[in-house]
Amino acid sequence: MTLSPRRKRLLSLTATASGAALLLSGCGALNQGGNSSNKLSVWHQFTESTDGDIDGMSWTIKEFNEAHPDMKFENRTIANDEANTVIRTGLSGDNPPTVLQYEGYKQTEDYAESGALLDITDWWEENKQHFAAGESQAAKDACEWDGKMWCIPWNVDTSQQLYVNPALVEEHDLVMPETIDQLKENAAKLEGTGVAPVSLYAGDGWPAAHWWFLLTIQRCGIDTILAAAAQDGAAWDDECFLQSATDLYELGEAGVFPEGVAGSDYNSMMQLYLSGDAAFMNTGSWFNSTLTDTPPGDFEPEAMPFPQVDPENPSNQILGGFTNVFAVPANSGNTEAGLEFLTWMSNPENGAGKAFARGGLINMLNGSDEEMEQPVKAAYETVAAAVGEAGNNVIAYFENLVPPAVGEDQMYNGSASLAANTMQPEEFVKNLQTAAAAAVGQ
């Protein structure tokens, strides 16, 4: 399977790729030997800030090397569009990294099942107290497979917010939309002004899919979504999924999104908001790092919770998860050094978590929130509250739950068509369920 770029972090953070990575894709089984003479290295997808500040990953590697003069880890950044190929090839070859950052969930399952990752269950039991969400289901969802832990949950992303341009809200007497109906009311007020109610360009697929994900969480609930993803006890054409597709279609019909919503990409979506031409924008908390590096000059961005479909029965479940996890490849020949690196970076006293937090990321190591500024702090508090409650209240981005033919094809492309009103909701859920059933051989 191939991976498609999604949720691109610009400037200070590059996006992790979506979907599952199969290690056995015409390349044969993994090389399990390794080579202890391999250089120590960390492979990751973080890039340095454009203003010259050292990013959290570079800071962590630099500080670790200074504290361990007998070890010297090399710092390798992998570009978003190369991540799938580079990681798969590296794990299958003679020179895998000593430490690997990737996106968890289905990738954890695929990498662990193929023998690519070191079982760190015992290490995790000794160190999980350092993590704010160490006992949460969200951490297990990202890093557990076959009853064992294979990675550490590091940074969280959530899309449970609208970014706001307060100047436009005041100028046009808009309401801060607590409901999706209020989004439509704002669209009516802005008609003919040249200001977009909500910046959304869905040429990449996933920006519109996030709207459907968020609406679906409220309409269906996490347990039903997981059942549909597994094709066990629920189907994607059930009534609640149809209703959330209808919600998205009707938002597009009401003029909430700009003209040409399906045609342009995430860069254009960001620029429409940053240029002051859109009152609101939904995207993930990774956008905070963009705001840290390149804040708009004409307004001070704010963030608010994503609107509710039923304010009388609000949902406390959120979309997000550990989009940055770290693991030790099993066949590097340097697994002890890899574990030493994880141990050092996971000790809150050493400051690695705070270094990531200073860059605008939601790091879940204890104490990292002390370095967070708004709106990062608000997003952290939303995530912390959700993982701290009983039950399963955090769900990963849906494409991490299903094969690419279901997520990246049907969910991405279909959601973009819903927002643009070029596909009917009934057709969307029908196509989605057909692809899901085919993927499991039904």
Question: DSSP assignment of 187-238, as one string?
Answer: HHHHTTSS-EEEE---TTSHHHHHHHHHHHHHHH-HHHHHHHHTTSS--TTS
- Whether 218 is covered by a domain: the verdict is yes
Same domain, yes or no: 221 and 370: no
Overall domain count for the chain: 2
Same domain, yes or no: 54 and 89: yes
Helix 266-274 / helix 206-220 crossing angle, nearest 10 deg: 80
pLDDT at 38: 64
Question: CA 291 to CA 269: how far, in whole Å?
Answer: 14
Same domain, yes or no: 407 and 277: yes
Beta-bridge partner residues of 149: 144
Residue 299's alpha-carbon distances to 20, 199, 335, 373, in angstroms, are 39, 16, 48, 17
Same domain, yes or no: 59 and 115: yes
8 Å CB contact between 112 and 145: yes
Same domain, yes or no: 236 and 332: no
8 Å CB contact between 417 and 203: no
Same domain, yes or no: 350 and 366: yes
- Whether 24 is covered by a domain: the verdict is no
pLDDT at 18: 31
pLDDT at 63: 97
Beta-bridge partner residues of 263: none
Question: How many C-alpha atoms does 24 have within 13 Å on its Cβ side?
Answer: 10
Residue 133 structure tokens: 């969400």
- Whether 315 is covered by a domain: the verdict is no
pLDDT at 34: 47
Same domain, yes or no: 99 and 58: yes
Residue 438's alpha-carbon distances to 4, 224, 442, in angstroms, are 21, 19, 6
Beta-bridge partner residues of 397: none
Range of the domain at 110: 41-157+320-388
Closest CA to 392 of 308, 322, 317, 319: 317
Residue 410 structure tokens: 């049907």
Phi then psi for residue 101, to 5 deg, are: -100, 135
Same domain, yes or no: 120 and 186: no
- Whether 354 is covered by a domain: the verdict is yes
DSSP 89-129: HHHHSS---SEEEE--THHHHHHHHTT-B---HHHHHHHGG
pLDDT at 12: 28
Same domain, yes or no: 167 and 150: no
* Enclosing H/E stretch for 414: helix 412-419
- Whether 205 is covered by a domain: the verdict is yes
pLDDT at 25: 35
* Enclosing H/E stretch for 240: helix 239-253
**3-state class of 173 per DSSP?**
coil
The domain that contains 410 carries what CATH number? Answer: 3.40.190.10
Phi then psi for residue 140, to 5 deg, are: -65, -40
- Whether 145 is covered by a domain: the verdict is yes
Residues of the chain short of pLDDT 50, as ranges, are 1-36, 50-52
- Whether 13 is covered by a domain: the verdict is no
Same domain, yes or no: 246 and 352: no
- Whether 33 is covered by a domain: the verdict is no
DSSP letter, residue 411: I
DSSP letter, residue 440: T
pLDDT at 359: 86
Same domain, yes or no: 278 and 409: yes
Strands 362-363, 144-145: pairing is unpaired
* Enclosing H/E stretch for 99: strand 99-102
User: Structure pTM?
Assistant: 0.79
Helix, strand, coil shares of the chain, percent, nearest 5, are: 45, 15, 40
8 Å CB contact between 440 and 232: no
Same domain, yes or no: 145 and 184: no
- Give the residue from 348, 366, 388 where a domain finishes: 388
Closest CA to 29 of 331, 402, 338: 331
Angle ∠(162,275,50) on CA atoms, nearest 5: 90
Amino acid at 40: L
